[in-house]
Amino acid sequence: MLDKCIDNLKDEIIKETCNLINFPSVSEETSDPNMPFGKHAKDALEYALDLGQKLGFRTKNIDGYCGYIEFGEGEKLVGIIGHLDVVPSGDGWLTPPFEATIKDGNIYGRGAIDDKGPVVASLYAMKAIKDNIKINSRVRLILGINEEKSWNCIRHYNEIEEAPTIGFSPDADFPCIYAEKGIATVYIKDNYQKYSNLPIIIKEIDCNNNAINVVPKYCKVILSVDTSRIDLNEITPFLSNEIKKLNFDITYSVNNSNIELISNGVQAHSAHPDLGINAISRMIILLNKIFKNFNCPISILDFFENYIGTEFNGKSLDINFSDESGNLTLNVGKFSFYDNFLQIGINLRIPVNTPIEKVTDSISEICNKYSLETVVSGIQQPLYVPKDDPLVKTLCDIFNKRNHSNYEPIAIGGGTYARAFKNCVSFGANFPGDTDMCHQANEFINIDKLILACKIYADAIYELSK
């Protein structure tokens, strides 16, 4: 009965997934109380809530921070927690990132898998249950619009709204996630004013406003050279030889006394830095070699090459911890000027049994030797629910029964809204064996798997509502 209902809704599910993708809902934190995360995020939220209302659900916009779509009655509240904001589109797209494109059985566009497609699948799973089965619980789809930044949306929800009794976030992988690593961002800062008299100065840094949780694919730096002190004819052959030795995809051009350097990489989710090529890391290594060769070392650059470089496991920092949830990962996501400081931002995914402070304190201790300042932000404590917990077992059983499989629950480095609530885990919508397209160019969701995910979510709503 539920399967047939969802099959009949297939065209609607595809259409509404496309409609949501068409909102360029990159979260932008503002001082406007009517749109705390920017107009595009606000518009996406309002569209989703209006859709929920048209489908016969109760809806609530929670002060522009987030909202929910709900049906049913009873004391028990089954929560489904998703988000409508997305990371910036980035380069390398073969289709317009904010114009959904259907091709070869897939829907392409930023947010297709993270998290707009799964949100729509969850909404129509709720509709299938609402229209066909009487349940004795409330079911609430909670929609955040600041997940890719600071999670202030879900913090606001927790301050004033009811927490789910039990639930899941459709923002990761099937069959079920039992552990999510801890997350922290560390900003390393060096007062750049003390380098103002060097014969080579970093004049401009542009990394396309890369998100901290994305492996950057682009970094441009413009150097200004005091040609009365350094001959450009000495720098250019050094650059050519050094880039060749490093084997980095970095180009340069000279315009009067300025040198423009462009580093190219491969974008990926920061939870999987091994799947990308970090343009910022390679740029910083080259910069350090330039400044050191011409006797004007910069502390933060030297620290970086010695203790981070192109590593993504923290080995040189002596923080390469590991447990059943996996290895620590490190992504260099920011390189910028900030209030007269030269700043590098690193995003860490920390195994569940390692205290976050143990990692951040270790980094700060090494930075102190270089007279560098560290600022820790964006801490998210890990999520861990035992594999034999009834919620994990129920969701895994639902997936395996539907797919005639025998998959075990898994651990991930990504962070989902599941960790914002007790008795919640993440559940789909990536299927085993799928390429993780989160935060990557040409992000897509397969239509057949989108519909199958909707059916799996309907099964889960029914079971969790008992």
Catalytic residues: 85, 147
Question: With contact defined as beta carbons under 8 Å apart, do 266 and 249 qualify?
Answer: no
Q: Which of 453, 380, 369 is nearest to 418 (CA)?
A: 380
Sheet holding 383-384, edge to edge: 383-384, 177-180, 410-412
Adjacent-strand bridge partners of 206: 220
Separation in Å, CA 389 to CA 37, 40, 425, 463: 36, 39, 11, 15
Q: How far apart are CA 414 and CA 430, in angstroms?
A: 13
Q: Which two tokens stand for residue 464?
A: 């969790």
Distances (CA, A) of 283 to 24, 186, 204, 332, 458: 29, 19, 13, 11, 48
Residue 321 vs residues 35, 113, 272, 303: alpha-carbon distances, Å: 40, 30, 16, 21
Determine the Cα–Cα distance for residues 41 and 86; give it in Å rounded to an integer.
9
Q: Where are the beta strands (DSSP E) in 293-438?
A: 322-323, 326-327, 329-338, 341-350, 373-380, 383-384, 410-412, 424-426, 429-430
Buried b vs exposed e over 20-58: b needs ≥16 C-beta within 10 Å?
Answer: bbbbbbbbbeeeeeebbbbebbbbbbbbbbebbeebebe
Distance CA(140)–CA(138), nearest Å, equals 7
Q: Tell me, what DSSP letter sits at residue 122?
A: H
What are 227-233's contacts with CB under 8 Å, separation 24+? 227/257, 229/199, 230/199, 230/200, 230/294, 232/257, 232/259
Dihedral of CA atoms 17, 20, 21, 23 in degrees, nearest 10, equals 170
Cα 330 to chain centroid distance, Å, stands at 13
